Amino acid sequence: MSAIDLAASVRRGEVTATDALATALRAIDARNDELNVFLHVDRDGAEARARAVDDAVASGRDPGPLAGVPVALKDNLCTRGVPTTASSRILEGWRPPYTATVVERLVAAGAVPVGKTNLDEFAMGSSTETSAFGPTRNPLDPERVPGGSSGGSAAAVAAGMAPLALGSDTGGSIRQPAALCGIVGVKPTYGLVSRYGLIAFASSLDQIGPFATSVADAALCLEVIAGHDPRDTTSLPEPAPALVDHLDDGVAGRRVGLVSELVEGADADVVAQVERAAAALEAAGAQVVRLSIPELRLGLSAYYLIAPAEASSNLARYDGVRYGRRVAADELGAMNEATRTLGFGDEVKRRIMLGTYALSAGYYDAYYGQALKVRTRMIEAFRRAYEQVDVLLGATAPSVAFRFGEKTANPLAMYLSDVFTIPTNLAGEAAVSVPFGTGEAGLPIGVQLLGPGRSEARLLAAARVLEVAS
């Protein structure tokens, strides 16, 4: 059942939140050992929330638009008293004393957080293979990755363990796993959703967004979590845009740009589905043009300087002094070093080193400084493109879900998984991945719709057209 239908049933008293939770927990119990989706299932907390929703319904109070909807949370979202690890040994056992704004908003809307999902350690990866607690398996083919870094949240929704999930997207970490798991994923405009309580990877790029089985569910979830938060200075001051009301706006009269750089190097089955999507949009009344934005090719290299640079600073706090894991040693520096050596995995260490180097005296201008210039050019290039078209179209990922170990030996091959998604993060804009057809081995393919800042309503309406046509 969709989140919208479930919430409606709960509000009408036809289904109890407690029953809806039980259904979710059964699905989790059935496959979590196999798929390694949840790192922690908060049964007691979820049951208490569900009861509160049922009590509200029984006493005639409206529990909110997500009444009784089980929601999975990426384990880099802080939840008071509930273990939060970012899939890292260094935070093993840590229970935050506070809750992320997005989780508070979900709960206030009647949703029932069921637990914390697996991710690439500190969201650094594209397959969930860098998790310190083992990889998540793709529910559609357990021999393959679910994508990443929000692989656990994508798998939770794809496996029917929860109708909705939250992920975070720094360079594609919502859209790519959504594509690989055959569901909808939204990377909102930077600042649309509060980051308060999201364990930072790269602060200028991170953004929280929803996973859902339908465009409408994703729109509803995003509406609930979006909007200014005084605890996040970078959150946009304007009221959040209405999304659900615009879902059926269609694409008639919209100008859509099929971007050659956003299919370049993708597998043939992926390219074919993007072409088919362009045709579907045209059939629905859009005017499709083909265009090239050469600056997008610079995104990957700029991203792999900016994101690690910020990460090297964001992750400096994990030193064994205040919380999380501590590896004892005779002396402070040695304790810091031992803690970080054992606490962080290889990919995290690689990025900390990359970022530290990029910011170092003597290298800053050549690396970090240069990357910032590329970022500015990227923003300009998008701005020019949006003078010609309303929406950009491309692939979300270069291939369908790949097999475990296929890309772990070569970090660069793994990094290329995000080549189509990274430019949106660098520009701080919005993008949606929507399932559209299948490819190799019958696995799902996602196409990506990109728009300028605060264009979510437009993008979701276009995604809805593709959802119907698919």
Partner 1 sequence: MKSGWEMVVGLEVHTELRTATKLFCSCANEFGAAPNTHVCPVCLGLPGSLPVLNERAVEMAMSIGFALRCTIAPSTFHRKNYFYPDMPKNFQISQYDLPINSSGYLDLPDGSHVGIERAHMEEDTGKSTHLGASGRLHGAERSLVDYNRAGVPLVEIVSAPDIRSAAQARLYVAELRRVLIATGASDGRMEEGSLRVDANVSVRRPGAPFGTRCEIKNLNSLRSLQRAIDYEADRQIELIEDGGTVRQETRHWDESTGVTSTMRVKEEAEDYRYFREPDLVDLAPDAAWRDRVAAALPPMPGVRRTALLQHLVDPTDAQREAVEVVLDLDLDRYVHGAAEAGLDAATALARTANEVAGAEDGADRLSVEAFIGTLRLEASGQLSATQAKTVLADLLAEGGAPEEVVARRGFTQLASDALDGIVDEVIAANADEWSRYRDGDDKLAQFFIGQVMARTRGQANGKAVVEILRSRRG
Q: Which two tokens stand for residue 399?
A: 């291939």
- What distance in Å separates the CA atoms of residue 450 and residue 248, rounded to the nearest whole number? 18
Q: Which of 211, 304, 344, 368 binds partner 1 (CB under 8 A)?
A: 368
Cβ 359 to partner 1 shortest distance, Å: 4
Is the CB of residue 192 less than 8 Å from the CB of residue 226? yes
Q: Which of 42, 223, 310, 418 binds partner 1 (CB under 8 A)?
A: 310
Under 8 Å CB-to-CB from 308, ≥6 apart: which residues? 202, 351, 352, 354, 355, 358
Is 349 in the active site?
A: no
Q: Which of 150, 173, 214, 433 is catalytic?
A: 173
Under 8 Å CB-to-CB from 431, ≥6 apart: which residues? 175, 186, 187, 421, 424, 448, 449, 450, 451, 459
- What distance in Å separates the CA atoms of residue 200 and residue 127, rounded to the nearest whole number? 19
Q: How many residues bind partner 1 (CB under 8 A)?
A: 45
**Listed ranges 8-16, 146-154, 202-210, 288-296: which one lies at the site for partner 1 (CB under 8 A):** 202-210
Q: Does 317 bind partner 1 (CB under 8 A)?
A: yes
The residue (of 395 and 422) whose beta carbon lies closer to partner 1 is 422
Between residue 83 and residue 112, which ones bind partner 1 under the rule CB under 8 A? 84, 86, 91, 94, 96-98, 100
b/e per residue, 130-156, with b = 16+ CB within 10 A?
Answer: bbbbebbbbbbbeebbbbbbbbbbbbb
Q: Does 40 bind partner 1 (CB under 8 A)?
A: no
Is 407 in the active site?
A: no
Q: Does 429 bind partner 1 (CB under 8 A)?
A: no
Is the CB of residue 457 less than 8 Å from the CB of residue 220? no
Q: Which of 88, 127, 149, 417 is catalytic?
A: 149
Between residue 226 and residue 285, which ones bind partner 1 under the rule CB under 8 A? 230-234
Is 417 in the active site?
A: no
Vertex 353: Cα angle to 347 and 356 (nearest 5): 140
Q: Does 449 bind partner 1 (CB under 8 A)?
A: no
Cβ 310 to partner 1 shortest distance, Å: 6
**Listed ranges 5-13, 136-144, 156-164, 304-312: which one lies at the site for partner 1 (CB under 8 A):** 304-312
Q: Does 316 bind partner 1 (CB under 8 A)?
A: yes
Sheet containing strand 38-41, strands side by side? 38-41, 112-117, 70-74, 164-168, 208-212, 184-187, 430-438, 444-451, 391-395, 255-259, 287-291
* CA distances from residue 75 to 83, 130, 216, 257, 389 in whole angstroms, order as listed: 8, 14, 24, 36, 37
Q: Does 370 bind partner 1 (CB under 8 A)?
A: no
**Listed ranges 21-29, 44-52, 74-82, 262-270: which one lies at the site for partner 1 (CB under 8 A):** 74-82
Q: Does 332 bind partner 1 (CB under 8 A)?
A: yes
Catalytic annotation, residues: 74, 149, 173
Summarize as ranges the residues that interact with partner 1 (CB under 8 A): 76-78, 84, 86, 91, 94, 96-98, 100, 195-200, 202-204, 230-234, 309-310, 312-313, 316-317, 319, 321-323, 331-333, 336, 356, 359-361, 364, 368
